Structure 1
Amino acid sequence: MNILAKKDFHSSYDVIVFCHLRWDFVYQRPQHLITRLSNDFKILVIEEPVGKGDGSERGFKISDNIHVLQPTIDNIEDLGSFLKDILETKVFPVGWFYSPAFVNVLNYLNFSAIVYDCMDELSLFKGASQKLIEQEKNLLSAADIVFTGGKSLYEAKKEKHSNVFCFPSSVDQEHFNLGNKSLELPSDIDSIPKPIVGYYGVIDERINLNLLQMSAQKMPDISFVMIGPICKIEEQDLPWAANIFYLGMKTYEELPVYLNEFDYAMMPFALNDATKFISPTKTLEYMCAMKPIISTKIKDVERDYSHCIQLIDDENDFFNAIHQTKADFKDAYLEILQNTSWDRTAAKMSQIINGIKELA
């Protein structure tokens, strides 16, 4: 990782991205899109503040066209004035927002086009600021374009903005389709008894922990593997059993190897406010590996994939799903995957943005 100093941040950026997720955290929608958009744009990603620390600027270079800045301030409300001191100019072609919490920067920086890529309903997440609803109203008022990460979000946001585009989570098929690739199997999963029902992603309030616990009790001969960081909940909140295994966070590069070891892939989401609008990226990634998928009835999953995914309510359904995999699921997966890719999504977004810029 190449560390950047204040002098490395300049005025030639085409897109300034404001993101609540750390670049080096779980690799998901922002990283997928920003990496691809960087083929056409020079991009500065600005994360949430990290605190003053020693007062020095913090940032790093992902590539020649992607720089990441971690603001050394305590309060996100001070971000606009902070950026005026860091950046050589305050006028840029595109401002791209992943969270309304950054909206105050619009008082300090000007953009020819403002994009709100709404990948989650952040106001419904555990610990969310009460200010987010009002901040989103302000952001929607300023935005030229709104992208949404799923159909449910699209239906919610199209009532609040006149220029909303639905871009559900997509996938990098080549990355997750191992095929005949020979890759070394990590020891932590190699030692786990088969069959394995596996999940990867953030482990937080969106996971139905009771379902996990009851399913593990009902199927003691099945290994339940959970891969990912634990966030906003404590380890003591997790169910523990001889056949539940927590393997921690893995890199995006490592995930296909672990996924390949799953006999079944699961999405044991709770049905609560935090999952009301989600469109899980992992759905299509699981499909790339041709794994039978078992999921709770998340709205966007149920309406698009009920023909090829086993949908469950409780541990009894989970038990039945293990023994009643849908026979034609692989053909259905292939048909779905033929119509989606992150490359295609990024290209369509770029086309829309360029259209708006031409009108500006």
Structure 2
Amino acid sequence: MEAALGRVSASKHTGRENLLVCFSHLRWNFVHQRPQHILTLASEQQRVVYFEEPVFEELPQPQMRTSEASPNILIVTPVLPLGASAAKSDAVQRRFVQQIIASMPHSRLIAWYYTPMALRFTEFLDPDICVYDCMDELSAFKNAPPELAQMEKALLRRADLVFTGGLSLFETKRRLHQAIYPFPSSIDVKHFHKARLPGKDPADQAGIPHPRVGYFGVIDERLDAGLVALAARTMPDVHFVMIGPVVKIDPAILPKADNLHWLGAKAYCDLPDYLRHWDAGWMPFALNEATRFISPTKTPEFLAAGLPVISTAIVDVVRSYGAAGLVEIADSDDLESKLRSMLLRPREMLLPQVDAYLADMSWERTWTAMAAHIEGAYRRKKVVPLRRSA
């Protein structure tokens, strides 16, 4: 562990700058989404440590695997021996967190949580600001730890600020904290606008006939596999392109058809190359507990790419993009009619309306607002003790 700690210390980062330590259930290099967008912007103002959930391998003693996502973002992955108990895992991670923070001089410490489960090994922390960025209702997800709900209650008591990943999530939690703010999915417009420009079709997609209807994102219990199968069966002339890693479900249950193409995970930087050659985007989400509060980041990303979009009736999609006439809402009864009608429309028809809607939805704007809340919370915490001593 001492050898690993030596790699954490970065001599090129000197001075007592702010330090943000993020505890996440998501791998930094898994899917590029909300944490990566927000923390990359945060790293322009402070040092960021991204502390992932542990991996378990055959090794004699714990190790701390580190890498740099950028000069100011350090990724830390605890590597624990196979069979390590929960108590041992927590003790090792607690020690790693202590070592990381001690190795990085800082004037202000921000603890940023994406998973309440990290409180099991960070309860000792006394940060200047504690942020809970609640991007999903994790307790509704497949294989959620049974103690997650209780851990979230503890985190809500500790947090100075709570951000939510959507309006529905905000509404269900707004009475649980006095400083809670909704920050629905934002958009990297410049990146996805590349899909509006000409470009070469990726090799693994080039042979797929048109029309093409595409999905990209994590493929798990939130995807309606039955709806995907129905679409492929009832529209044999339409080709459905599915991009993303398969997690938490058996890949064998995914439907198969000649016009259904599972291309696997793709790098974030390559997504515009695929999207520019699609005729429409779709979001075939199941309507279940795991999707009740989601605010899919891919909705504005599809729109920024210049694609017409069709989705199942996800609440946050219906009330925002659906109400604005930017996304077609469909279920199994009318999917074919609505999708075929969409494919006949000129792609450019909605672009002025789309661009106007997305104009104020940048991740930069989101981070600026979050940073203002953090600064306000910090100032309030510093003022309160002065008033008490007067």
Q: 8 Å contact 1:269–1:275 — kept in the other structure?
A: yes
- Equivalent in 185, 190, 193 of residue 206 of structure 2: 190
Q: 8 Å contact 2:5–2:64 — kept in the other structure?
A: yes
Q: 8 Å contact 2:109–2:129 — kept in the other structure?
A: yes
Equivalences for residues 137-216 of structure 1 within 5 A? 137-178=153-194, 181=197, 183-216=199-232
Q: What's the offset of the Cα at 1:181?
A: 4.6
Q: Does 1:39 align with 2:28?
A: no
**How many angstroms apart in 1 are the aligned matches of 2:321 and 2:337?**
18
Q: 8 Å contact 2:196–2:306 — kept in the other structure?
A: no
Q: Which has the higher helix share?
A: 2
C-alpha offsets along residues 87-132 of structure 1, whole Å, 9 cap, x if unaligned? 4269852000001111123422220110000000001000110010
* Pair member with larger Rg: 2
Equivalences for residues 314-329 of structure 1 within 5 A? 314=332, 316-325=333-342, 329=350
Q: 8 Å contact 1:9–1:87 — kept in the other structure?
A: no
- 3-state DSSP of counterpart to 2:228: helix
Q: What's the offset of the Cα at 1:352?
A: 1.2
Q: 8 Å contact 1:80–1:109 — kept in the other structure?
A: no
Q: Does 1:311 align with 2:329?
A: yes
- Equivalent in 364, 367, 371 of residue 343 of structure 1: 364
Gaps of 5+ in 2: 10-15, 382-390
Q: What's the offset of the Cα at 1:199?
A: 0.0
Q: What's the offset of the Cα at 1:86?
A: 4.5
Question: Equivalent residue for 1:17?
Answer: 22
**How many angstroms apart in 1 are the aligned matches of 2:256 and 2:195?**
34
TM-score for the superposition, normalised by structure 1 = 0.94
**How many angstroms apart in 2 are the aligned matches of 1:158 and 1:180?**
38
Q: Does 1:67 align with 2:85?
A: no
Q: What's the offset of the Cα at 1:180?
A: 6.6
* Residue type of the alignment partner of 1:77: D
Question: Equivalent residue for 2:90?
Answer: 77
**How many angstroms apart in 1 are the aligned matches of 2:303 and 2:175?**
32
Deviates more, 1:50-59 or 1:324-333: 324-333
Q: Does 1:56 align with 2:63?
A: yes
- 3-state DSSP of counterpart to 2:204: helix
Q: 8 Å contact 2:199–2:276 — kept in the other structure?
A: no
- 3-state DSSP of counterpart to 1:348: helix
- 3-state DSSP of counterpart to 2:26: coil
**How many angstroms apart in 2 are the aligned matches of 1:335 and 1:295?**
21
C-alpha offsets along residues 64-100 of structure 1, whole Å, 9 cap, x if unaligned? 2100100123445332233224542698520000011
Equivalences for residues 219-258 of structure 1 within 5 A? 219-258=235-274
Q: Does 1:274 align with 2:290?
A: yes
* Residue type of the alignment partner of 2:331: D
**How many angstroms apart in 2 are the aligned matches of 1:335 and 1:176?**
15
Deviates more, 1:11-20 or 1:63-72: 11-20
Q: What's the offset of the Cα at 1:233?
A: 0.8
Q: 8 Å contact 1:219–1:319 — kept in the other structure?
A: yes
**How many angstroms apart in 2 are the aligned matches of 1:225 and 1:279?**
22
Q: 8 Å contact 1:93–1:357 — kept in the other structure?
A: no
* Residue type of the alignment partner of 2:300: L
Q: 8 Å contact 1:81–1:108 — kept in the other structure?
A: no
* Residue type of the alignment partner of 1:122: L
**How many angstroms apart in 2 are the aligned matches of 1:334 and 1:254?**
22
* Residue type of the alignment partner of 1:346: W
Q: Does 1:355 align with 2:376?
A: yes
**What is the CA RMSD across the aligned residues, in angstroms?**
2.0
Q: 8 Å contact 1:140–1:160 — kept in the other structure?
A: yes
Equivalences for residues 293-308 of structure 1 within 5 A? 293-306=309-322, 307-308=325-326
Gaps of 5+ in 1: none
Q: What's the offset of the Cα at 1:42?
A: 0.7
Cα distance 1:89–1:12, how it changes in 2: closer, same or farther (>3 A)? farther
Query: How high is the sequence identity, in percent, across the aligned residues?
Result: 40
* Residue type of the alignment partner of 1:84: Q
C-alpha offsets along residues 4-46 of structure 1, whole Å, 9 cap, x if unaligned? 9412335866100001100000100000000011111111110
Q: What's the offset of the Cα at 1:322?
A: 1.9
**How many angstroms apart in 2 are the aligned matches of 1:104 and 1:57?**
18
Question: Equivalent residue for 2:385?
Answer: none
* Residue type of the alignment partner of 1:318: L
